[in-house]
Chain A
Amino acid sequence: MPLVVRLRSAVCLLGRFPALAGVDLDVATGEVVLLSGGNGAGKTTLLRVLAGLVPLHDGEAEVLGVDLTRDRRSHRPRLSFVGQEAFAYDDLSVRENVRFAARISGRTDADADAVIDELELAGLADVRHGRLSTGQRRRLGLAAGLVRRPELLLLDEPHAGLDAPGRAFLDGVLGSAGREGTSVVIASHELDLVRPVASREASLVNGQGGGTLTGSPDGSAAGEVRS
Chain B
Amino acid sequence: MNLFQEAALIAGKDLRIERRARVVSQQILPFGLIVLLLFAFALDPDRGVLRRVAPGLFWVTVLLATLLAISRSFGIESENAARDGLRLSGLDGSAVFLGKAAALALELLVFEALLTFGVVVLFDVHLAALVPLCLATAAATVGLAATGTLYGVLAAGIRARETLVPVLMLPVVAPVLLGATRAWESSIDGPTSDAWPWVAMLGVFAVLFVGIGMLAFGPLLEES
Residues of A within 8 A of B (CB): 51, 53, 72-74, 76-77, 79-81, 83, 85-92, 96, 100-101, 103-106, 128-129, 137, 144
A91 touches B13 (CB 8 A): no
| A residues less than 8 Å from B89 (CB atoms) | 76-77, 101, 104-105
On chain B, the number of residues with a Cβ less than 8 Å from chain A's Cβ atoms is 22
Q: Are A128 and B20 in contact (CB under 8 A)?
A: yes
> Quick check: B88 and A92 within 8 Å, CB to CB?
no
Contact: B84 with A101, CB < 8 Å? no
Of B56-64, B74-82, B176-184, the one with at least 4 CB within 8 A of chain A: B74-82
Cβ-based interface call for B52 (8 A)? no
Shortest beta-carbon distance from A161 to chain B in Å: 14
Q: Is the CB of B85 within 8 A of A87?
A: yes
* CA distance in complex: A53, B16 (Å): 27
Minimum CB–CB distance from A89 to chain B (whole Å) comes to 6
Q: Roughly how many angstroms separate A96 CA and B81 CA in the complex, as a whole number?
A: 17
How many A-B pairs with Cβ below 8 Å? 70
B80 touches A85 (CB 8 A): yes
The answer to whether B87 and A91 have CB atoms under 8 Å apart is no
Residues in A neighbouring B13, C-beta threshold 8 A: 89, 92, 100
Complex CA gap A85/B84 in Å reads: 10
Name B92's closest neighbour in chain A (CB-CB). A73
The answer on a CB contact under 8 Å between A90 and B80 is yes
Measured in the bound complex, the distance between the Cα atoms of B20 and A193 in whole Å is: 39
Query: Cα distance A79–B81 when bound, in Å?
Result: 17
**A48 CA to B86 CA in the complex, in Å?**
14
Distance (whole angstroms) from the CB of A94 to the closest CB of chain B? 13
User: Is B208 in contact with chain A by the CB < 8 A criterion?
Assistant: no
Q: Give the distance in Å from the alpha carbon of A86 to the alpha carbon of B80 in the complex.
A: 6
- The answer to whether B81 touches A83 (Cβ under 8 A) is yes
**B1-39 interface bits toward A, Cβ cutoff 8 Å, 1 = contact, 0 = none:** 100001001000100110011000000000000000000
Given A92-B13, A128-B20, A129-B80, A105-B85 contact (CB < 8 Å): no
Q: Which residues of B contact A53 (CB under 8 A)?
A: 84, 87-88
Question: Which chain B positions have C-beta within 8 A of A79?
Answer: 88
Q: How far is the CA of A87 from the CA of B76 in the complex (A)?
A: 10
**3 closest pairs, A vs B, by CB?**
A87-B85, A77-B90, A85-B81
Chain A residues within 8 Å of B17, by CB: 89, 91-92
Determine if B124 is an interface residue (Cβ-Cβ < 8 Å).
no
